[in-house]
Chains A and B, each alone.
With several copies, the nearest count.
Chain A
Amino acid sequence: MADLRVIVLYFAKSAELTGVKEEELVAVPTPISSLELWTLLLQRHPRLRLLQDQVVLAVRQQYVAIGDQVLTLGDGDEEVVDAVSSAS
């Protein structure tokens, strides 16, 4: 168990909702599941909740589903949060 510094990139609608394109998270616990990480992002940016099921996460340029999957994060990893709204 360790704490890490993680870079989060936001794209498209997620960047609009958070108001930032990139931010640094310090003291991210590891190991962490993708669901826990998403919850952590929602605490920082409650408006991300608007994305609901449309959110897509990627870690080290690999897509990850939001669920129990444990992410092995390295210090300074890029984590990408991107999202699109559903087609209306």
Chain B
Amino acid sequence: MTASEEPRNVFKLSRDWLSVQEVVDAVSSASCGAISVFIGTTREDECDGRKVIGLEYEAYELMAQSEFRKLCDDIRARWPTVTHICVHHRLGWVKVSEASVAMAISSPHRHDGQQAIQHCINQLKASVPIWKKEVYDTQEASWKENAE
């Protein structure tokens, strides 16, 4: 790898619309033949007869950054060929069908990256302090486990 190819761990919390292209560009590398991407969107859903119209996200930003760094260390220990990792997560109001998280991982070959991206989204939801509140068409709302 050249100097510009030092492994990158990019994490951004954003109140704006997420750009998939930006996440992909952040991990692209001439030494990588594979970029695995996952996008989580707000799904139109019903809960006890109420319709979900959107989600409200909140984070403990400093701790989210440090938990993300731990997660990256964990991913690189499991899949050493992983080159760059980028996660963008929305905060605040995200209406139905908009992306709340977009993440990309580059690797020389596709298998490692595909395994790593699944681990990344699972662990992001399990350990990074970001909370979501479902908001319903009845004006009600409820905080949810972020595990789904």
Contact = CB atoms under 8 A, between A and B. Distances in A.
Instruction: Check A-B contact in the complex, CB < 8 A.
Output: yes
Interface of A: 9, 11-13, 16, 54, 56, 58, 61, 63, 80, 82-88
B143 interface: yes
Given A82-B131, A85-B142, A85-B144, 11 more contacts: A12-B58, A12-B131, A12-B133, A13-B131, A56-B129, A58-B60, A61-B63, A80-B60, A80-B63, A85-B145, A88-B47
A11 B58 contact: yes
A78 to B, nearest CB: 8
Interface of B: 47-48, 58, 60, 62-63, 66-67, 127, 129, 131, 133, 142-148
Contact of A82 (B60, B67, B127, B133): B60
Contacts of A12: 58, 131, 133, 143
Contact of A88 (B67, B142, B146): B142
B87 to A, nearest CB: 18
A88 B91 CA distance: 22
Contacts, number: 46
Nearest to A51: B143
B60 A84 contact: no
Contacts of B145: 54, 84-87
A13 B62 contact: no
Nearest to A15: B58
A65 to B, nearest CB: 14
B11 to A, nearest CB: 14
Nearest to B127: A63
